[in-house]
Structure 1
């Protein structure tokens, strides 16, 4: 390819991603320092570990944005197979943390295979649907094979158990399948069939039932199931208009559990107030806008589905986390993208953004080619 026609990535999207990651590191240091001092005698413990993953994520993001996104079309089947093997392996030899076997512990770092699986599902579904074309409207030949693979993956993740990731995967799969042109009647019937299953999964385990109960009536069990949400609401209320100031949260002093992971937004709200959280929302809104723009502007069905799947994945995690921290949704244990402590999630989000940047680069290249072609055509017409 002529280097003169090489498209530029969306630099605003790149800048916003780096800004969010940097802000996340600052907030992780603020939210985790009391716990880090108490448990590791080092206030930098958690932010240094997150910094390692941020470096890995940055490396992958820069690599992925500089390779043609079409390469993922060939990688789809291999990625889903690799994810399937990892999910089986983590159930057999993974580390049990708080009653869940979701992680491999390597060199003191926790690796969560389910995070990689999100990317695998997006690539796999986008690849298959783009190849099927109009055949996707057939339930037997189009939709059913996709549902079987997604169902197998979700079943393995439920065995960990990880209900939050199951919800995210179901949303991602539904989004890509709908964009891919499935018969909406099939999707509607599928949705009706899944509702009882999700209700059963939500109430079949006592800890999930407690989360739902604490979501509906948090102040009935202030010292038990409702404690986490109440402390989060206290933090947000304490922040007021301008916040207590960066690093001056009270709730992070062992009042708010998971202050640097699932409930880091509560610390952001307490320290930066309404003004700070509004700016935070604006940055994320701009990020989603540029991500959706990259996906929609692709003239390749695979590129559009891939991009929409990636930005939807980050978006649903953003909404689930904020919903839990504000009491708008039950707690699902989903991290805040780019911000929460958790290396697997951070690497996934940064790598996914790299693919989005690759799609935006291809869009810009195509636009330059069209302009160049139009310019040459006009010159020939003028000469004639």
Structure 2
């Protein structure tokens, strides 16, 4: 029995996941030793912390790869998860730690935890479970469509006002991926788009009529600086355009083959967040186009395999889980890479599996573990003719 189960896992998915994590670990060391030195820390300070993050993440991956995913569909699991997520996001305003102008973390001594990262898991599981259960009346606006969207809207609102616009947008777009793949008719989806646009217009009008001081809190100089830094980075390269301009220098100087591993100049105090948000710029500078291709092709392969696992799944819940996870990885990767290359404004999100950060790596590992479990059950049934059980 155990041997058959182990044979049913998709080891190509697991291998690429491990390769990306190990590659990221190497690049975290390369990108962070200079920062550690400037802060009077050991050169391997951030690297060793990421090693610990990776060990914990691998344990999480293993547990979720073995745990039957169908259990998540049970209301005894769904309801506490949903309310627990909202409670965590509310507690962040009372007990959260503020960094980079956002109150988004819980601090436990030297360790920190970002609830918004773990809410990504909750949103994917909840939306996948609810829409899988509502297949018989998926186009009924009141019963089938709106109730799950209310949870999505509450979560995105609580994250956006931390403020963490990047994470809120990623979660919102991931929810949209699940909704589009849920089986709704195009007419129903168009109604949702119309409703969403109407809400956005109303909120914009409300902001316009607010007093000037409240408008400045919502449309802060920091947020506007990200827009102006994106549109005209070289006109204010010492301020709002500083990150993007130095990212351009790093990427441009790498060329085809790069300057060599560890030889980045921009990480020596010129490029902020070199080991987190802008790690792709360091990869480009040190390893050139080939290093960047390793990351992009690895992420593309993971997304492709996850979608394929969803297409092969034997039930709507397993399929929607995979589509949501593929959407999350794809959207977050695009936003990180787009911000570092000037395609879109900088939002401050990590590059999946590569950037420094325990919460992000742990969440991505859990999600890959869930996909591995979905694939295992599907392959087991196909090979041995056994039906899935909860």
Query: TM-score when scaled to structure 1?
Result: 0.92
Shift of 1:178: 1.4
Residue aligning to 1:61? 61
**Structure 1 residues 243 and 333, CA gap change in structure 2 (3 angstroms):** same
Shift of 1:193: 2.8
Structure 2 Cα separation of the partners of residues 43 and 58 of structure 1: 24
Residue aligning to 2:272? 257
Which of 314, 317, 324 is the aligned partner of 1:302? 317
Shift of 1:84: 0.8
Structure 2 Cα separation of the partners of residues 40 and 367 of structure 1: 57
Listed as ranges, the matches of 1:213-232 within 5 Å are 213-232=228-247
Which of 279, 288, 313 is the aligned partner of 1:273? 288
**Structure 1 residues 260 and 369, CA gap change in structure 2 (3 angstroms):** same
Q: Aligned with 2:107: secondary structure?
A: strand
Structure 1 Cα separation of the partners of residues 143 and 230 of structure 2: 41
Conserved? CA contact 1:203–1:209, under 8 Å: no
Which of 322, 344, 347 is the aligned partner of 2:337? 322
Q: Which moved more, 1:345-354 or 1:188-197?
A: 188-197
In the alignment, does 2:148 pair up with 1:146? yes
Conserved? CA contact 2:261–2:287, under 8 Å: yes
Structure 1 Cα separation of the partners of residues 354 and 368 of structure 2: 14
Residue aligning to 2:192? 187
Shift of 1:170: 0.9
**Structure 1 residues 34 and 5, CA gap change in structure 2 (3 angstroms):** closer
Shift of 1:184: 2.0
Which of 327, 340, 347 is the aligned partner of 2:355? 340
Residue aligning to 2:212? none
Shift of 1:61: 0.5
Residue aligning to 1:350? 365
Q: Aligned with 1:23: secondary structure?
A: helix
Structure 2 Cα separation of the partners of residues 17 and 50 of structure 1: 16
Q: Aligned with 1:70: secondary structure?
A: helix
Structure 1 Cα separation of the partners of residues 264 and 202 of structure 2: 40
Conserved? CA contact 2:156–2:169, under 8 Å: no
Residue aligning to 1:29? 29
Q: Which moved more, 1:228-237 or 1:136-145?
A: 136-145
Shift of 1:190: 3.1
Conserved? CA contact 1:95–1:103, under 8 Å: yes
In the alignment, does 2:174 pair up with 1:172? yes
Shift of 1:359: 0.7
Q: Aligned with 2:346: secondary structure?
A: coil
Conserved? CA contact 1:10–1:361, under 8 Å: yes
Q: Aligned with 2:252: secondary structure?
A: helix
Q: Aligned with 2:134: secondary structure?
A: helix
Residue aligning to 1:362? 377
Residue aligning to 2:52? 52
Shift of 1:185: 2.5
Structure 2 Cα separation of the partners of residues 43 and 221 of structure 1: 32
Structure 2 Cα separation of the partners of residues 198 and 120 of structure 1: 26
In the alignment, does 2:238 pair up with 1:236? no
**Structure 1 residues 208 and 196, CA gap change in structure 2 (3 angstroms):** farther
Unaligned 5+ runs, structure 2: 208-214
In the alignment, does 2:79 pair up with 1:77? yes
Shift of 1:67: 1.8
Alignment length (residue pairs): 371
Structure 1 Cα separation of the partners of residues 241 and 202 of structure 2: 25
Structure 2 Cα separation of the partners of residues 271 and 103 of structure 1: 31
Shift of 1:9: 1.2
Unaligned 5+ runs, structure 1: 374-384
Deviation by residue 1:40-69 (Cα, 9 ceiling, x = unmatched): 430111111111111111001011111211
Conserved? CA contact 2:284–2:292, under 8 Å: yes
Residue aligning to 2:43? 43
Conserved? CA contact 1:239–1:274, under 8 Å: yes
Structure 2 Cα separation of the partners of residues 151 and 275 of structure 1: 40
Runs of 4+ that moved beyond 4 A? 2-5, 197-203
Residue aligning to 1:12? 12
Structure 1 Cα separation of the partners of residues 111 and 286 of structure 2: 28
Q: Aligned with 1:101: secondary structure?
A: strand
